[in-house]
Amino acid sequence: MAQQVQLGPGIELAVTGSPYGETPAWEVDGMGRRQTRRVRIWSIVTAVLAILWCAAVWHIGQPLWGGWPQVPATVASAEDWSNRYQHCDLGLDYAIAGQAQHRHHSTQSTCAEAPAVGSVVTLAYSPGDHGWMTLPGTDGGTLTEIILLGMAMGIPVFWSVLIAGFVWRSFRRKRALASRPWREVSAKVKKRISTKAGEGFVMESPDPGGEDWFLAFGLGGISLFTVPRAGETFRFMVAGRGTGPVLVGIPGHFGESLGVAEKVRTTTAQPSGPRVAEGNH
């Protein structure tokens, strides 16, 4: 009797070949190295982006939490100006270590709301750059900058974390399935279903009168191949634990893709197969 391989509950196909013997699929074509490299690259990218985000927020927020020295300053002039929003340019006179200073500082409000000319305000300045200053309690510009910067730089950090999570999840699933060797099988395609997630096929049961079954997998991880049409026999490789999730490969083509094999409830309804196409690159 020919050797059988179980793809999922109630789905068994005759093995037509064992192209790599009993070698785990993880060790074939450098799959393990490729998947590990993807995890490392995305982990490094995510870590670098997160560090840059933290460093930028920490730097911009120095007026709030940097413990800057404070001195009294006299408002010498005030002039409204605008770009998209109204601002007030204040001319400030003050002294640092006995040396007179005159600097200009833009607020996030109109001059009507800013300190009046002749008033004395508290000015905080950076010890390393006396030109970098703020007016504690009267200027919300620093907080606004932190929020805008955090949102702008947070977007790539968020997407990087999301992609790294998918890559890690794909890595774990592929490693578990690829602990088994590749087995070459074939089945007759009864119906092809293309989705955004990948390809789905309703396959004829190998047993007369048996139930049709469904195979779905993504195309992103496999080099270009001819997708079979209805009525054709599809020859492919699988590795898995026989529980439904499978690793799919195409004989003579590089790469692999996550997939799922399950029974078809009806020949006209598509099961939930294409959900497995995530992280197939």
Distance between CA atoms of 219 and 198, rounded to whole angstroms?
Answer: 6
Confidence of residue 281 (pLDDT cuts 50, 70, 90): very low
In this prediction, residue 146 carries a pLDDT of: 85
Rounded average pLDDT over 103-126: 91
pLDDT digits (tens, 9 = 90+) for 12-52: 999 999 999 999 999 999 999 999 999 999 999 999 999 99
The DSSP annotation for 69-109 comes to -EEEEEEEEEEEEESSSEEEEEEEEEEETTEEEEEEEEESS
In this prediction, residue 272 carries a pLDDT of: 45
In this prediction, residue 210 carries a pLDDT of: 82
pLDDT digits (tens, 9 = 90+) for 56-106: 999 888 888 888 999 999 999 999 998 888 889 999 999 998 999 999 988
Domain extents for the chain? 4-24+180-277, 67-139
Say if CB 71 and CB 48 are below 8 A apart: no
From edge to edge, which strands make up the β-sheet containing 70-82?
99-107, 86-96, 70-82, 120-126, 129-134
In this prediction, residue 277 carries a pLDDT of: 41
Distances (CA, A) of 74 to 60, 92, 133, 170: 25, 6, 14, 62
Rg for the chain, CA atoms, rounded: 32
